[in-house]
Every structure is written in C-alpha cells, then in structure tokens.
Amino acid sequence: MLSEKTIKIIQSTVPVLEIHGTEITKRFYHLLFSSHPELLNIFNHANQSQGRQRTALANAIIAAAKHIDKLESILPVVKQIAHKHRSLGVQAEHYPIVGQNLLTAIKDVLGDGATEEILQAWGEAYGVIAGVFIEVEAEMYGQAQQQQGGWADYRAFRVEQKVKESGVITSFYLVPQDGGELASFEPGQYVSVKVEIPGEINTHIRQYSLSDAPGKPYYRISVKREDEGAGRPAGKVSVFLHDQVKAGDVLWLSAPAGEFTLDQQDSRPVVLISGGVGLTPLVSMLNTLAAAKTERQVTFIHAALNSDVHALRRQVEELSERSQNIHTYFCYEKPTAQDREQKAYDKEGYIDLPWLKQVVPTQDASFYFCGPVPFMRTVHGLLKAWGVPAADVHYEFFGPAGSLEGDADSSKEGNSKEGNSKEGNSKEDVSLQR
C-alpha cells in the first residue's frame, strides 16, 4: 500500500499532467521503441503515428493519479484493459520496461519540476498499479488456457469461408487448424488476430469482434476494409485480410476476451444501437438472444451511409422475421436512389431523440451501442437527455478510449457513417498502449 505522503505527492502532480500529459507520453513511446523495438510487434503502429495512443495513455495516467487513494474504484477499467493485454500477449516482464521509460519521460519533459521526491512517488505508485495488472492478467491467462477448448498465446485457425457482406465489410469464418474443440465466448467479446504481412518487419496484431453467436463450430469476424483517406493511412491489416487472405489460409488468434458483453440474466428489454462496422459485437448479441428464443423485447437499430455499405442486413432481418420479440430499424444518412425506391430504411439522416422514443418502447431497458466515436457521442447524448440511468448504458470504443461527453447535436457528423478513426474494427488498449 502507498503511504499518505506518496498519495498526496501523486495527486499534486495532476495539474501538471493535465498540461504536459501528451508530451510525456509522446516522449515515453519514443524511448520505449528506441530501447525495445521488439515491442513494435505488439503495439498498433497506425495509432502511434496518428497520436491517438499517446492521448489515451495520458488520460489513463491522469485518471490513475486522481484516484490513487482509491484504486479499487478504477478496478472495472483495470479489468477492461487487462482483457486487452491478455489478448495481445502482454507479459509481467513488460511492466518494469514500461515503468522505467515512463519515469524517464516524466523527467525529460518536466525537467527540474520532476524532483527526486516526485519521481520516487511515481515509481512507488507505478509499482502498485503494475502489480494489480499483473495479478489480474495472470488469472485471465489461466482462465483462457484452462477453459474447455481454451488455449494459451496464439492458435492457428484456418479460413473456412470468406464472405463479402457489403462494399467495405467482409466476414471470415475461422476453424481451429488442429481440429480441436473451440472455446466458447460471451456475445460482444473479441479475438486478437496476429499476421505477418510480406514486406513488413514487424508482426501486426488487431482485435476484431466476434460477429456471430457462441456455440457455432467456427468463429466469425467481420472486417471493414480501411483504405487511405483524408489524414488517415490505409489499414495495413484490414487491407491485407481483404486483398490477400483467402479460404484455406491460416490466421493466428488469441482466445476470446473483452468486458463489453451482453447481460443474459437481465430480463428487461434490450436495445442494440450500432453505427457502421460497430454492428459486429451487437449482431453477436442479437444472434445470441435469437438462438435462446428470448422473451425479452429486443430493439436493434443500425445506422449506415446507405445499403451499399450496410453489412449483415439480411441476417438481421431474418432474425426479426422469425421472432415477434425482435424489432429492427435502419437509419441511412444518404440513401441511394434504389434505397428510396425500395423503402429500404426507416429513417433518413441521423438518429435523433424523437425518433428514438418512437421505436424504443421504454427507457427502462438495457442499452448497448458501438460505432465511430462521433456516432457514440450522439447516442450517449440522446440517452442522457432521455434520462436513461448510466447503469443501463453500455458501450465500447473501437480504438483508444476517449470521452463521450459533449453535445449530441454537435456530434452529428459520423452519426451514421460507415467509417471510423481506427483500422477496420480493431480495438485498442489504454494502458500499455499498442
């Protein structure tokens, strides 16, 4: 445990960290990769180059400093991060390396402001926080390996089928190459996919949601191809999967992980709201509810640019047709002429509160949403304005964690856009950043 003196010193550094946090984490990553280039096999290079990773890490450090006197209050966040660390293969021996480079970065950026007393306090605090992560992750590694059909590290999977779902999204049906049993998972969880791309020095790891229900003889991931765009490089892994991986090829997967999961014990209505490729974990939840022949009222809302980029639509419609408890709605930002002719959508433009109240029977429900950050900010703002309790609101970022606070109206750009600011639908870390 930390002494009261150490806690006060750490908390006193919060204002400085709020000013210099991203500068410190930028320096940290430079030091880390210069001294340990092998860690580039774990970290997401695209998010490094775009600066999103250092911002997320800075926010995580500030949060830890603010709550250093009650670390138990951030345990849910620790578990979320630990799931991602376990899926990536982060090991206990990585933590001292990170700690050493973080303290050096603090000293380099703050100069004389980083006194020996402050550095010592942060060294002690980091040791305690790292210890919590190591303990939680060790338990997760054990569970992943010891569960029925489970495994440690990465396991070879054969691409049994490759299916184009829309103009930008393709599904990969994956089965164990060894013919062994397949571990179950919670709807909403993801796997890490590790690939070696010809011409690339390092391996690349991305995390993709499992887009079908558990209990199938395969895992399915549905990947959005990320081509080069304004201020955004092409997604190396998503382009590789789309262009070069074919049926019969082998991909290496971690065991399923993740905290964004459907509460199947809740008997109240459930509302699933997705934007673009953010539908993947929610389709898994929907398939699971349908397979269980749920008596819960289920509302599934998907926002997309138009039918050209709307993936898995027919599968979702079929579930709705087979169950009187499942109701589906589609919102298209810019419908095509054919969409208009066929009346292929329920709302044009963006999801707004009056329409949401029309299609969702009650606010006494569990709400799950996922998609591009602007879309998520909009949905979060609408639910907040409607008075939905925070405990009933569940979401997950595709990319380094950010903030959903903000004006829903001002977040309309991206409300239904297919794209988002990460590669494909890969998830990122917020601690030992990829």
Compute the distance between CA of residue 177 and CA of residue 157 in angstroms, rounded to an integer: 5
Q: β-strands 270-275, 250-253: how paired?
A: unpaired
Q: Are 416 and 351 in contact (CB under 8 A)?
A: yes
- Residue 336 annotated as part of some ligand binding site: no
Is 240 known to sit in a ligand binding site? no
What single-letter DSSP state applies at residue 210? B
Cβ atoms of residues 395 and 260 within 8 Å: yes
Length of the chain: 434
* Annotated binding residue 398: yes
Query: How far is it, in rounded angstroms, from Cα 356 to Cα 384?
Result: 13
Active site residue 318: no
Listing from the earlier edge strand, what are the strands of the sheet with 204-209?
204-209, 190-195, 250-253, 155-164, 169-176, 219-224
Which secondary-structure segment (H or E) carries 290? helix 279-291
Helix (H, G, I), strand (E, B) or coil at 337: helix
Nearest to 280 by CA among 315, 247, 321, 244: 315
Is 248 annotated as a binding-site member? no
**Was 397 annotated as part of a binding site?**
yes
* Residue 323, annotated as binding a ligand: no
Indicate if 95 belongs to the active site. Answer: yes
**Burial bucket for residue 228 (CB in 10 Å: 0-12, 13-18, 19+):** exposed
Annotation-wise, does 400 bind a ligand?
yes
The letter for the amino acid at 355 is: W
Query: Catalytic one among 29, 126, 137, 141?
Result: 137
- Orientation of helix 116-146 relative to helix 94-110, angle to 10°: 150
Which residues is 223 bridged to in the sheet?
A: 170
Q: Is position 276 annotated in a ligand binding site? A: yes
Chain-centroid distance of CA 308 in Å reads 24
Is 237 flagged in the annotation as binding?
Answer: no
Question: Would you say 206 is a known binding-site residue?
Answer: yes
Q: What is the DSSP letter of 180?
A: -
From 4, 18, 23, 95, active-site residue: 95
End-to-end CA distance of the chain: 29
CA distances from 67 to 7, 17, 348 (A): 9, 14, 44
Written as one letter, the residue type at 383 is L
> 5: which 2 tokens?
């003196």
Rounded-to-integer distance, Cα 40 and Cα 268, Å: 44
Dist CA 209 CA 278 (whole Å): 9
The residue among 330, 334, 422, 329 whose CA lies nearest residue 374 is: 422
- 253 vs 47: CA distance, rounded Å: 21
268 is in an annotated binding site: no
At 80, list the tokens: 């979320």
> Annotated binding site for FAD: which residue ranges?
190, 206-209, 397-400
Binding residues: 85, 190, 206-209, 276-281, 397-400
Which residues define the annotated binding site for NADP(+)?
276-281
Active site residues: 95, 137
Q: List binding-site positions for heme b.
A: 85
